[in-house]
C-alpha cells in the first residue's frame, strides 16, 4: 500500500455541480464575481454565470472525491448558500440499479 492515489487510475472520480446564488443587481453581481474569481482558477476558467438572463447564480462542475472537498473550493462567504450535487452518467445509474 503506497498511500498515493494516481488521478489517472481513478476513472470514476465523482463529478460535482456547485451552484452558488447571489443577490440580483449590479453591485452584488460584481461583488460575487470578484470573490469567486479571487478564490481560485477553477472559478476563473470554468464557472458559468446566469446573470445576463436574470438568473443570479454561478455554476461550476469539478472532479473531486467528496462533497466536503467540493465545499472546500467555495469561498467561506458562499458555503452556506451553495448547492452541491453529485453528478452521474446514465450508464452509472443503470449499473447501480442492476447491481442491487
Ligand atoms: Zn448576478
Tell me the CA distances in angstroms from 14 to 24, 30, 49, 57, one per residue in order.
31, 31, 23, 22
Contact 98, 28 (CB under 8 A): no
* Rounded distance from Cα 89 to ligand 1 centre (Å): 29
CATH code for the part of the protein at 13-99: 3.30.70
* Rounded distance from Cα 69 to ligand 1 centre (Å): 25
State residue 5's pLDDT score: 55
* Rounded distance from Cα 49 to ligand 1 centre (Å): 7
State residue 87's pLDDT score: 94
Q: Quote the CA–CA distance of 55 and 13 in Å, as a whole number.
A: 30
- Comparing CA positions, the residue from 17, 26, 15 lying closest to residue 58 is 17
What letter does residue 35 receive in the DSSP assignment?
H
* Rounded distance from Cα 4 to ligand 1 centre (Å): 40
pLDDT tens sequence across 30-89: 999 888 888 877 777 889 999 999 999 999 999 999 999 999 888 888 899 999 999 988
State residue 11's pLDDT score: 63
C-alpha grid cell, residue 17: 455541480
State residue 95's pLDDT score: 79
The pTM of this model reads 0.77
* Rounded distance from Cα 82 to ligand 1 centre (Å): 14
State residue 80's pLDDT score: 92
Amino acid at each position: 500500500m503506497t498511500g498515493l492515489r494516481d488521478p489517472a487510475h481513478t476513472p470514476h472520480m465523482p463529478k460535482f455541480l456547485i451552484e452558488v446564488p447571489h443577490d440580483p443587481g449590479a453591485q452584488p453581481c460584481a461583488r460575487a464575481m470578484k470573490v469567486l474569481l479571487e478564490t481560485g482558477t477553477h472559478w476563473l476558467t470554468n464557472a458559468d454565470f446566469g446573470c445576463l438572463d436574470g438568473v443570479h447564480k454561478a455554476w461550476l462542475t469539478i472532479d473531486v472525491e467528496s462533497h466536503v472537498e467540493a465545499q472546500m473550493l467555495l469561498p467561506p462567504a458562499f458555503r452556506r448558500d451553495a448547492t452541491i450535487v453529485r453528478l452521474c452518467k446514465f450508464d452509472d445509474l443503470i449499473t447501480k440499479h442492476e447491481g442491487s
